[in-house]
């Protein structure tokens, strides 16, 4: 994580006696990445975090993936998916996946079970509604436009808040997600050229202590899923400190980097993961060279698939293609993509784009999952030519 936080009660020195009011020791837990050589936090539990009383295999909702064959650009309409009434974890409709990342969408109206992803970090983007993330680190609130990063193996529960259904884009990694390394100093501080900084990041503000016994927690791990039953509720942490914790960042706090001519997608990069990046396209002043063409040029990223999730405003380059709120466009490696016919000419003289989108670029091909095929606009690939297949 970018910086150190301390929440609740912790002893002055780590790995020293820290006693409860009855004289017994709090149970100290180190949660760390990459063995003992990267970010970590120390949590202090009232009960042993290792005490489970049962474990059994668990079967989540079934899904499968198939290669993008025949190779072509795809348009997915996530608002056509039927996930109403689902919870934000088990109700996810898996859309695209490879061995590095899985991308899902859900419209949720009820809390998730207690859940731990032991495969990798999750990046959740709130398209609409409000979300409360309850975890061993406390409570973190998120609203529309927020990214929420949940580190690997944090026990948490996702709770939709308010009357509006929660619309959530879920990006599940097989490793860790964080700010691009080029934004950070060797000691982890955001540098001056970074489009956001520590002031824009929110973490849990206080501890969350719940009582309970025989508490079920679903664990997604590298060999499937398991249901653990904990002797005591895992939300029993009285304090923690360190650099590893769930955190939130609003896409509206991303400061766009602009230029006299069109800037390439890396200026929009917000996070990096294992073999993929996440970018934010936000409202911004656009190219101001007197002969500039503000929309993107035709481009072919030969090493990556490009997925764009449209979450607000007007996307000039895609006008006339059927793209709408909640759409996803997949432009795979092996296909040259660019603005729709007429978009380049129409954009000349425009000095501001009012658009909001989240992009995921992967360096391994994305396969199509079952739900993607149920919400696909099958005519999208032919919109550049104006002909039907």
Annotated catalytic residue within 176, 262, 268, 300: 262
Query: Token digits for 46?
Result: 């009232």
262 labelled catalytic: yes
User: Largest alpha-carbon pair distance within the chain?
Assistant: 77
- Provide the strand spans (E) within 200-257: 201-202, 213-221, 224-232, 237-242, 247-250
- Cβ atoms < 10 Å from Cβ of 1: 22
Question: For residue 190, what is the DSSP state?
Answer: B
The response to whether 146 counts as a known ligand-binding position is no
Residue 49 Cα distances to 22, 251, 299, angstroms? 19, 35, 51
Partners of residue 358 on adjacent β-strands: 280, 309
What DSSP state is assigned to residue 331?
E
Sheet containing 166-173: which strands, arranged edge to edge?
Answer: 65-66, 367-369, 93-97, 101-108, 166-173, 122-128, 146-150, 247-250, 201-202
Structure tokens at 309: 């999730």
**Does residue 315 have a known ligand-binding role?**
yes
* Secondary structure of residue 233 in the 3-state scheme: coil
Report the C-alpha gap between 159 and 143 in whole angstroms: 12
Cα-based angle 281, 286, 290 (whole degrees, multiple of 5): 160
228 is known to lie in a ligand binding site: no
Bridge partners (DSSP) of residue 45 are: 27, 237
CA distance 314 to 357: 10
Q: Which two tokens stand for residue 126?
A: 């709130």
- Pair of tokens at residue 53: 């009383």
Its sign, for the CA torsion 103, 81, 78, 76, is positive
**Contact of 285 with 352, CB cutoff 8 Å:** yes
Question: Which token pair is 216?
Answer: 């079920």
Q: Is 237:137 a contact under the CB 8 Å cutoff?
A: yes
Catalytic residues: 262
Binding residues for homogentisate: 315
Binding residues: 299, 305, 315, 337
Binding residues for Fe cation: 299, 305, 337
């Amino acid at each position: 994580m970018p910086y150190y936080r301390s929440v609740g009660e912790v002893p002055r020195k780590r790995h020293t006696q820290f006693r409860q009011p009855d004289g017994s020791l709090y149970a100290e837990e180190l949660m760390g990445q990459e063995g003992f050589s990267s970010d970590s936090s120390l949590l202090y539990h009232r009960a042993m975090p290792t005490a489970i009383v049962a474990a059994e295999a668990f079967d989540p909702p079934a899904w499968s993936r198939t290669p993008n064959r025949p190779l072509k650009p795809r348009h997915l309409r996530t608002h056509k998916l039927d996930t109403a009434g689902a919870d934000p974890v088990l109700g996810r409709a898996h859309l695209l996946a490879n061995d590095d990342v899985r991308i899902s969408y859900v419209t949720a109206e009820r809390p998730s079970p207690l859940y731990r992803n032991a495969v990798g970090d999750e990046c959740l983007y709130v398209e609409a509604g409000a979300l409360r993330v309850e975890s061993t680190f406390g409570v973190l609130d998120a609203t529309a436009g927020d990214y929420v990063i949940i580190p690997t193996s944090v026990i948490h529960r996702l709770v939709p808040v308010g009357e509006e259904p929660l619309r959530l884009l879920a990006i599940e990694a097989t490793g860790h997600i964080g700010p691009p390394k080029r934004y950070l100093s060797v000691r982890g501080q955001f540098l001056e050229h970074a489009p956001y900084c520590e002031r824009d990041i929110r973490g849990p503000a206080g501890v969350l202590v719940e009582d309970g016994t025989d508490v079920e927690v679903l664990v997604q791990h590298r060999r499937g899923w398991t249901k653990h039953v904990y002797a005591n509720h895992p939300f029993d942490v009285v304090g923690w400190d360190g650099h590893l914790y769930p955190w939130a960042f609003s896409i509206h706090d991303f400061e766009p980097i602009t230029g006299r001519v069109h800037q390439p997608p890396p200026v929009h990069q917000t996070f990096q993961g294992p073999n993929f990046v996440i970018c934010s396209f936000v409202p911004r002043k656009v190219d101001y060279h007197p002969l500039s063409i503000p929309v993107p040029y035709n481009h072919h990223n030969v090493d990556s698939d490009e997925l764009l999730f449209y979450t607000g405003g007007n996307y000039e380059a895609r006008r006339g293609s059927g793209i709408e709120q909640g759409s996803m466009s997949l432009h795979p490696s092996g296909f040259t993509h660019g603005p729709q016919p007429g978009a380049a000419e129409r954009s000349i003289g425009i000095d501001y784009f009012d658009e909001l989108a989240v992009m995921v670029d992967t360096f391994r091909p994305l396969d199509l999952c079952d739900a993607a095929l149920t919400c696909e606009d099958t005519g999208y690939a032919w919109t550049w030519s104006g002909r039907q297949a």
